[in-house]
Structure 1
């Protein structure tokens, strides 16, 4: 029996990140020594105090349903975190916990968008933003942040992109895949345009704790009362606490939006995993020293490997300010090693050099590849050696 699939799923592009990661895993399982620089997750285990809190909750019988929008105690922990870190005040009704920040974003677009509504998405962008907008019947509108502008977009670009159908803009700072951070001054200008045009701001702050040098994380919601009212903060524990598999994220913002999202979750996923919620309470309320230890380690790795990537022929690399990614422009390397495009070059790095990287085409940046340095320094340096050898041995110029 043949049945037609819905028109929604026909528009989807598969996740480039997950596809490459799966291919690399398959090669490893067949005995090939592949070094993966694709996965967007820390290589640390979840801190012991969080593991112990999760175990304790299970032993105490805390394994039943919770409210669809999350445990009140977890909402309180998030409210305290936002007040302490950003000076922002929220109530329980303005917070909803979901099954990872990805699920929270998906649910947000489902309740926010009607067919034809537009969402401005600066490029390079995280691969799931446009797909989630399309699944909600919306239209992704891409504006390019050039390498000359550190991959960031300007307030004027946003103003020019707004139409009567524009519902929101997504701001991701620090950014996946670029690692770049919007300054306070840049965010002030963006907030003014959003006020002028009366659009929502979806502020993805999942990498806020992973910032290097003298840079600081500023939430756009901090800038004014108006900015706070129109900003929907998305965050979670996946990156900062190395809890990617625990699947806990949250939204903080407008009561009506959060209430609608909670209602939708009650009919789709019920509550986030109870054990993960108790683990997250400990993550936010417990000691924070492991967060800083991990951040310092990532910064140290960046300082060691950045100049080595810059030295690879045909690689043009901006130094990131946060997260744990590099996004080099490798179009020259691809051309001079005989490849028609960067996607083919990235595929050859996997099959010929045994290094898994993510083609930038999935991020709206087809001349680049994304490299994660959330792995050991020994593996990173071996990966660089393999990439450099592959490029130099195949260079045709």
Structure 2
């Protein structure tokens, strides 16, 4: 039987595929170090777990409203006011089954056949697929030549001049770890202002920012663009709640209402118990997140040091998230492998280190390393890759 065109062109997430390969090798007894993870390795904090248990005792086992429980939407609205400096009413909030689901709902609500969606490279791998499912055109905008981790405001502005329905931004960035400054965001928004496009800001890593830097949202930089700005975040990364699947979005009431209608006809409201747990998470003081952030920063430093000892790699120190974005083009050339994809396959098979090629994120010649794993394993991975490079490079 023939599949719909929207499904025929989709491929499984390469990050999940490589993680599955690493898991299979480990099951065979191989000492694989997995640096593909897109989730914290910490347990969900106990107060959040207890909130879920209490929710079950209180009978929160029925459907919730399609947009989420009212008190959770109120807490999310207050969170956006505090952290994004964004004036938000609870009616302008949608709670979804993870930030990924919120983004998908919004793209379906905003994008129609032929609409151009601007996606700076490197990008989180699901953005283009979501756009294609909606019938839109994913316009991949090259990064700055001087720093391939960061969006190029001039290139984005030129792309917007050719027409744009939505601009997707992600800061802190998956995969690059770049954190955009207010000045960078301002330059980008000036470039797209005349296009009238929606600004969809993915801020799921907002609390994982290092070295005393501060996360800044487009909603804060340009409050005058409030009626076309939508911010997405969630509890997955900062609260170690990836499996609970709670994300949320805030934006203009008409856009949120449209996304809510789509959600109501697909998944209905998110898991009721998980929503109660998420409410408890948002009630925790931000100081409770500091310990995990400190550990991630130490891991970042350990991994950057280890990768710095691998011949022919060029890594950039990330300002946020938990990924190191590494230029492997020199190593690829010296080893004769057929690109970053083949390099990652070789590393997995021969060094038993699992990584994610940059092609998954629109950037050939780069590799993403996750440091959501303990420091000892990160140092071991670096030593393995160093030994491999010394053997394989010409």
Measured against the shorter chain, the TM-score band is over 0.9
Residue in structure 1 matched with residue 83 of structure 2 by the alignment: 85
Residue in structure 1 matched with residue 39 of structure 2 by the alignment: 41
Separation (CA, whole Å) in 2 of partners of 1:303 and 1:130: 31
Residue in structure 1 matched with residue 248 of structure 2 by the alignment: 250
Separation (CA, whole Å) in 1 of partners of 2:162 and 2:390: 51
Cα distance, 1:155 vs structure 2: 2.5
Separation (CA, whole Å) in 2 of partners of 1:160 and 1:350: 40
Separation (CA, whole Å) in 1 of partners of 2:190 and 2:161: 16
5+ residue gaps, structure 1 = none
Aligned pair partner of 2:192 in 188, 191, 194: 194
Residue in structure 1 matched with residue 333 of structure 2 by the alignment: 335
Residue in structure 2 matched with residue 184 of structure 1 by the alignment: 182
Residue in structure 2 matched with residue 280 of structure 1 by the alignment: 278
Alignment of 1:57-68 (within 5 A): 57-68=55-66
Cα distance, 1:33 vs structure 2: 1.3
Residue in structure 2 matched with residue 381 of structure 1 by the alignment: 379
Cα distance, 1:305 vs structure 2: 2.3
Residue in structure 1 matched with residue 93 of structure 2 by the alignment: 95
5+ residue gaps, structure 2 = none
Cα distance, 1:49 vs structure 2: 0.5
Separation (CA, whole Å) in 1 of partners of 2:366 and 2:153: 25
Q: Deviations over 1:82-136 (max 9, x none)?
A: 1222322211211000000111111111111111001000001000000100110
Residue in structure 1 matched with residue 74 of structure 2 by the alignment: 76
Give the conservation status (yes or no) of the 8 Å contact 2:44–2:241: yes
Q: Deviations over 1:124-156 (max 9, x none)?
A: 100000010011001000111136235222322
Which sits farther off after the overlay, 153-162 or 355-364?
153-162
Residue in structure 1 matched with residue 317 of structure 2 by the alignment: 319
Which sits farther off after the overlay, 12-21 or 273-282?
12-21
Give the conservation status (yes or no) of the 8 Å contact 1:191–1:227: no
Separation (CA, whole Å) in 2 of partners of 1:386 and 1:182: 33
Which sits farther off after the overlay, 254-263 or 25-34?
25-34
Alignment of 1:13-32 (within 5 A): 13-32=11-30
Residue in structure 2 matched with residue 122 of structure 1 by the alignment: 120
Residue in structure 1 matched with residue 104 of structure 2 by the alignment: 106
Alignment of 1:224-303 (within 5 A): 224-303=222-301
Alignment of 1:149-188 (within 5 A): 149=147, 151-163=149-161, 165-188=163-186
Which sits farther off after the overlay, 80-89 or 51-60?
80-89
Q: Deviations over 1:29-81 (max 9, x none)?
A: 22221110001111100001100001110011111111011010110111111
Aligned pair partner of 1:354 in 352, 355, 366: 352
Separation (CA, whole Å) in 2 of partners of 1:51 and 1:143: 41
Give the conservation status (yes or no) of the 8 Å contact 1:40–1:374: yes
Aligned positions, number: 394
Which sits farther off after the overlay, 195-204 or 150-159?
150-159
TM-score, L = length of structure 1: 0.97
Separation (CA, whole Å) in 2 of partners of 1:317 and 1:224: 32
Separation (CA, whole Å) in 2 of partners of 1:152 and 1:393: 33
Separation (CA, whole Å) in 2 of partners of 1:172 and 1:384: 28
Give the conservation status (yes or no) of the 8 Å contact 1:316–1:329: yes
Cα pair distance change 1:242/1:56, threshold 3 Å: same
Separation (CA, whole Å) in 1 of partners of 2:98 and 2:295: 24
